[in-house]
Amino acid sequence: MRPAMTPTPLNDLEFALLNNWQRAFPLTTRPYQAIADALGSTEVEVMAAYQRLLASGHISRIGAVFRPHVLGWSTLAAVSVPAERVEWAAARINTHPEINHNYEREHHWNLWFVVAATNPSEVARVLAEIGREVGSTVLDLPMVEDYHIDLGFDLNGHRENNPHRANHSPSTQSVALDACDRSICTALEPGLSVTPHPYAAMAALCQETEADILERIAHLQDSGVIRRFGVVVRHRELGYTANAMVVWNIPDAYVTQAGHALGADAAVTLCYQRPRRLPDWPYNLFSMVHGRDRQAVLAEVARLRTLLGLDELDCVPLFSHRRFKQCGARYGARHSAGAIQIAA
């Protein structure tokens, strides 16, 4: 039995299903059978375990994490509201279908959310509406550059830094998607079904053959449209109840260097450059650090500052307090019920 990460311990099969298939999920006609063969289990047992993990919230979905700004436009935003109005404001923000993440964080800017829509003007419209509704200036902080390659979340706690570097600027890199590609992305939105032939079910929706679906998904991965394909876990449900969005005020000349260094460290699960919004917001580098408790996160932040020579620079960990919404991004959400997991 693996160490318990939740009040109910995971058995060996559940642990392996969570940890080993966060990326490189099998692209074969019977993926759950392929996983069962690798683990010495059966297809029925594997599917039953995944269904339990989905029902318990350990898994958000089994599917694709897309490269930012390939399928639409998104931004990270924040408002500042009085403490006694946080729940009301969060509920009001969540009425907008374009919202996919909404967290209360420990800061003057205390509600942080992600807006995703088909284009920047739609995002701007939603932000303006939210500002009027909750009575706050809205910080609009779209990603400028991405410094982290999402390889999943190692539940063993092994510290193996990522030797690769992400260097994606959404304003300068584009990928042409044809109608079939977009149809497949839409079909992937809710995640793969836990059935013996999930790709055949997708093929029927897209009016393509199963072989074409498998080939197209592989191509979307090779081209970088799909950054990771596999199990998408929820950190809190796995026992990592403390998480901080750590923001840094890095001199502009060094932000790319610092971003690459942070993004390669195993403790960092996301790392982006975002614009300053002076005088309200001086920070230009954002990183996410998860831990089992607050002290563990603070220890990681201290280690990162020392390791990377950032001790003298302004750095603030914004711990999450309450999660009001977490789901995949929904581009064109006013016209679709689907959800795509994508970074803001």
Query: pTM value?
Result: 0.79
**Residue-by-residue pLDDT tens, the chain, 344 positions:** 344 444 468 899 999 999 999 989 999 999 999 999 999 999 999 999 999 999 998 998 999 988 877 778 899 999 999 999 999 999 999 999 999 899 999 999 999 999 999 899 999 999 999 999 999 999 999 999 999 866 567 777 654 554 444 444 444 455 678 888 888 988 887 899 999 999 999 999 899 999 999 999 999 999 888 989 999 988 777 777 788 999 999 999 999 999 999 999 989 989 999 999 999 999 999 999 988 899 999 999 999 999 889 999 999 999 999 989 877 665 555 544 344 444 45
Candidates 67, 56, 81; CA nearest to 150 is 67
Crossing angle (nearest 10°) for helices 43-56 and 31-39: 100
The rounded distance, in Å, linking the Cα atoms of 183 and 204 is: 11
The rounded distance, in Å, linking the Cα atoms of 313 and 316 is: 10
Count how many residues are written for the chain: 344
Overall fold of domain 73-164+236-334: Alpha-Beta Plaits (3.30.70)
The rounded distance, in Å, linking the Cα atoms of 2 and 16 is: 10
3-state SS of 172-219? CCCCCCCHHHHHHHHHHCCCCCCCCCHHHHHHHHHCCCHHHHHHHHHH
Residue 153 phi, psi dihedral angles, 5° rounding: -125, 110
User: What is residue 322's three-state secondary structure?
Assistant: strand
Alpha-carbon distances of 230 from 18, 107, 184, 252, rounded to whole Å: 9, 34, 15, 35
Q: Where are the domains of the chain?
A: 73-164+236-334
- Are 253 and 282 a contacting pair, CB within 8 Å? no
The rounded distance, in Å, linking the Cα atoms of 62 and 80 is: 34
